[in-house]
Amino acid sequence: MDAIGWLIFLAALVVSVMLHETGHFVTAKRFGMKCTQYFFGFGPTLWSFKRGETEYGFKAIPAGGFVKIVGMTSLDEVDPEDEARSFRRAPGWQRVIVLAAGSFMHFLLAAVLIFGLALTIGIENDNTTQLGTVATCVPTSAQALNNGAACTSGEAKSPAVIAGLKVGDEVTSFNGTAVSNWTQLSNAILKVKPGTPVALTVERDGHSVTLHTALAEVPGHGSYFGIAPTVTLQRQGPVDAVKYVGTGFSQTVTGTASALGQVPAALPNLFSPNRSKTAAGNLSSVVGAAQATGDAVAAKVGWEYKVNFVLLLIAELNIFWGIFNLFPLLPLDGGHIAVVIWERLRAWFARLRGYRDPGPVDYRRVVPVMFSVFAVIVVFTLVVIVADIVNPVNFG
């Protein structure tokens, strides 16, 4: 099952890469630019065919893909008869659209996956009073609680165990107050001081049962019961599915910004034994994502939960790739967009001063920066890949 998960992820990766290139290809064609190659991979050609003026095929190194558009920069040599159809001769707005189309395809794929998932399988809901976890002991600290540390000998039994609660019980009232969701129940628990006796009523096998216990205390956290809700999947209507797409994008963008901000602190912990509990646990390569997909497919849960995890993971990765490609750094698409914007601003200022258009930016001046950024990206990617191989993150 792990192998099937890897194959699913690799297939999704190929689709994502080629959709990205398709965005560039279709918009370039639409604006009349000449595209001579459309390939998956790099290096020697394994197989290809030519249709019209474009060669399609596969290269030996499956590390991405590319579309070759004539005259992408001022450094490219272009036959005189093709110059009018070169990328560099197109209006600035057309070039920006072509460059941004790759990221747009990532965003579109992610939106379709999230929307379809919400409509068909449903989204996870843990705001229920049905119990999915009954802890056996009281954590010794808030850190142990947050990290899900295993119980050790000598730790006190949890109030949930003392009360006799079981996984699957549905709590209907707490201390005489009816509760219908986890937010209400957890808020009610936190309001009670540790050591205070409490009573709760649960539905179990069609019967109402009232149980008694006293709350424990976790230093740095407060009152502790030792229960957690079960996670269910709920289908959404079209309007709520659209809202969920917005939520998914918002959470991924926020998470991406947070993860990038933690990169300096994360790097030293990539190979530490407790990587998962540090900022390095939020950094992962395609190897880590493939491993997470394999683990999800092999997990002993219903197929709906597997599909939910895998599709959301693929959607989140596409959102990340789309955002990352728009960073204003060469050789990323965002770097080329920045060059086009600077070129047009320069032309605008020249017109204001009565001068002629300076023309395309001289890429010879930016090539050293481009190679430096590319080298940093490659080295960083390789380091994270090695970390994911020798010290993988447990995604649960």
CB-based contact 172:203 (threshold 8 Å): yes
- Residue 203 is among the residues annotated as catalytic for this protein: no
CB-based contact 45:58 (threshold 8 Å): yes
Q: Which DSSP state fits 273?
A: T
CB-based contact 370:332 (threshold 8 Å): no
Rounded CA gap, 235 and 115, in Å? 11
Q: Which two tokens stand for residue 189?
A: 């628990």
CB-based contact 95:134 (threshold 8 Å): no
The catalytic residue among 21, 81, 83, 304 is 21
Rounded CA gap, 103 and 94, in Å? 15
Q: Where are the beta strands (DSSP E) in the chain?
A: 35-51, 54-69, 123-125, 131-134, 170-174, 177-178, 197-204, 207-214, 216-218, 222-224, 227-229, 232-234
Q: Integer distance in angstroms from the first to the last C-alpha of the chain? A: 16
What amino acid is encoded at 386 in this protein?
Answer: V
Rounded CA gap, 21 and 57, in Å? 13
Rounded CA gap, 44 and 61, in Å? 8
CB-based contact 118:242 (threshold 8 Å): no
Residue 225 CB-density burial (10 A; 0-12 exposed, 13-18 middle, 19+ buried): buried
- Catalogue the active-site residues: 21
